Amino acid sequence: MPPAAQGHQTLSAYISSRFDEFSRSQKDVAQYVVDHLDEVAFHTAEELARRASTSSSTVVRFSQALGFEGFPELQEAAREEYRHLHRAADPTNGQKSAEPLFSLDQSAFESAVAADHVNVEETARKVSRSQVDAAIEAIATHEKVLIAGTDQMAFFASYLRHLLMLLDVRAEIAASPSQEALSRLGRIDGDTLVIGLSAGRPHPLVVRAMKIARHRKAATLAIVDATLSEVSKLADRTLYYSSNSPAFVRSHVGLLSILQALAYGVYARDAAQYDDRIRAFRLK
């Protein structure tokens, strides 16, 4: 039965409650619908399928699995929820809408920059201060940190390691299924903090790292762009970033913002201790 028939549950909540019932490919669609409602409300089934890395027939089957006749009915439910969210945030409710960065006839460049601007704001709204504080505490106090991120996430895993090493935090990365990376997974123990980075469907190596960490009672932190991510389900705590983009790749400005803010949070715990070390690297 679709959420409209239930009368009290939003589309996002309804999809989340039934997530485990879907097939693997349908889960990709479900994650995208929940995390990118504004795009789902106005894109075609073909465009949604492309952005969720699946087929349009899977989008239709997903819609029917929810109890809708097809994708148009699912899209109408998404539009209704999108309109409801915008009504809740209109100026009469005490919230002032921001002026657009560019004119309506945006170039491709301007569209991408405008999307990044929104992503940083959305990321800031979604993160919990208590989760951030706990993540910073875990990074600063654990003897070892292992950052797992493959493919495009490998760059960000390496960058976070670089930031932490500047603060004398012992950090390693697992960025590919190489023998060296697998041996690092084998050294995970109770004194390790495992940080899993994921965009969209998580790489099996990242999932494996989180499962090993859970089995060995190691602390875990997930930094993901999908609230229903398998990496998030295996983690002690999760930081979510928004990655909407009109381009052919996801936006990573929200992720970069989180990583730099986490490193700065560790630094701010005892700035005096780190200042001499930072100056030595001529970073300021």
Can you give the pLDDT of all 284 residues of the chain as single tens digits?
A: 565 545 556 888 888 888 888 988 888 888 888 888 777 877 788 888 887 888 989 999 999 999 999 999 998 888 888 777 665 555 554 554 445 566 656 788 888 888 898 889 889 988 888 999 999 999 999 999 999 999 999 999 999 999 999 999 999 999 999 999 999 999 999 999 999 999 988 999 999 999 999 999 999 999 999 878 899 999 999 999 999 888 888 899 999 999 999 999 999 998 888 887 777 775 54
Q: Cα(143)–Cα(169) distance, rounded to whole angstroms?
A: 8
Task: Write down the pLDDT at residue 241.
Answer: 94
Q: 245, 238 in Cβ contact below 8 A?
A: no
Task: Write down the pLDDT at residue 82.
Answer: 74
Task: Write down the pLDDT at residue 209.
Answer: 97
Task: Write down the pLDDT at residue 189.
Answer: 96
Task: Write down the pLDDT at residue 43.
Answer: 78
pTM of the complete model? 0.72
Strands 171-174 and 144-148, sheet pairing: parallel
Q: Cα(121)–Cα(266) distance, rounded to whole angstroms?
A: 22
Please give the span between the terminal C-alpha atoms of the chain, in angstroms, as a whole number.
58
Q: 122, 239 in Cβ contact below 8 A?
A: no
